[in-house]
């Protein structure tokens, strides 16, 4: 599945929810399913600045694709990470760069997150795109 197809699938999943409380809960549940993130990866090198909560993203290039491991100490932010990983994890740098995060506006996340959460979300996106540009 391409990153664009993953965005479309995500949008369709969110259409099932009638209200934002249910959507928030779904996002939190997605975050709870993130893979383990070892303590030794929680370093300044992987920490994302600009987030209200603690966030770490550890990149690794595997067969020309960028693999991302990530975690946050906040439930909703871990869920946002899960959304980003669903779209951008294990993609080629070019596919990442060719896939703007249109799903954020289409889902309405930009309107339903606090300004500090929004800033953190865009800081995570900036890191992902910076990693792709560096490859």
**Is 31 among the residues known to form the active site?**
no
* Count of CB atoms situated within 10 Å of the CB of 10: 16
Task: Name the catalytic one among 3, 6, 30, 51.
Answer: 51
Contact 54, 63 (CB under 8 A): no
Strand partners, 71: 56
Q: Which residues are catalytic?
A: 51
């Amino acid at each position: 599945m391409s990153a664009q197809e993953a965005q479309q699938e995500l949008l369709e999943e969110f259409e099932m929810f009638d209200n934002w409380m249910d959507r928030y809960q779904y996002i939190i549940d997605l975050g709870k399913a993130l893979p383990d993130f070892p303590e030794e990866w929680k370093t300044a090198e992987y920490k994302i600045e600009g987030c209200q909560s603690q966030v770490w993203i550890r990149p690794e290039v595997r067969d020309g694709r960028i693999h991302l491991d990530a975690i946050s100490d906040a439930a909703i932010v871990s869920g946002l990470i899960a959304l980003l990983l669903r779209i951008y994890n294990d993609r080629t740098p070019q596919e990442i760069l060719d896939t703007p995060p249109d799903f954020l506006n289409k889902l309405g996340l930009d309107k339903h997150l606090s300004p500090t959460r929004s800033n953190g979300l865009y800081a995570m996106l900036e890191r992902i795109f910076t990693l792709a540009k560096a490859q």
